Amino acid sequence: MPTYRGYTQEQIVSLIDHTLLKPEATRADLDACIKTAIEAEVKAMCIRPMDVAYSAKALANSSVLLCTVIGFPHGTVTTNTKVQETIEAVRNGALEVDMVMNLGLFASGDYEAVQEDIAAVVRATKETNPKAEVKVILETCLWSEEQIIKACELCEAAGADFVKTSTGFAASGATVEAIRTMRSTVGDRLGVKASGGIRTLDALIDMAEAGASRVGASGTIAILKEFSEKATH
């Protein structure tokens, strides 16, 4: 079986959340995203809340998990807004929700409010579908290592299933250092998702080797093309 850096294509696609979150993306872009996700057999497809109901129907007979974003991209909507967004998304077929933690409250050091905001989304998710999972976006480029550790601890205490680096809409995205910090903090108790700026096969594998269990990527086709060119038997 062909491998690259010890990974098979099956292992590569099992890490990928194929992503389309550009606000100006068209229905044709969404259809192309769905087609890629199904054909590549990626782990999940992450799309805008407005696209959930349509995408759920399109993915119904596939193994691809449907993921959407909550409080995106700044995390500063009210907790009640996040809860309502979550309930609607999960009812419409989302099996994973990637919520942005409240960046302003976190920067202010109001950790209790940050944790409660996350916990409210976790409750809404699980009450709507006990099988659905919550990833919390930390926007790691904004924080020191100590703050990343604190954010991970709040996510775990709030009952989240994953911690995630980035929205892809901030100054920069995932780094190997941030992933290592996140993984060492949550151990094997939570998933870790790298996202933002991961455009090559090597970058994806670097994130996996640092501890990412999921990688957000919009360039899945290019990454898999690279695999077919570089993999050896």
Catalytic residues: 98, 164, 193
- Report which of 141, 173, 208 is spatially closest to residue 19, judged by C-alpha positions: 173
Judge whether 4 and 200 are in contact, CB under 8 Å. no
Residue type at 191 in one-letter notation:
G
DSSP character for 158? H
Phi/psi of residue 138, each to 5°? -95, -20
Residue owning tokens 């909507």: 77
| Angle at the Cα of 91 from the Cα atoms of 87 and 96, rounded to 5 degrees | 75
Residue owning tokens 């942005």: 100
Residue type at 26 in one-letter notation:
T
Exposed / middle / buried, residue 176 (Cβ in 10 Å: 0-12, 13-18, 19+): middle
| SS3 state of residue 13 | helix
Judge whether 229 and 208 are in contact, CB under 8 Å. no
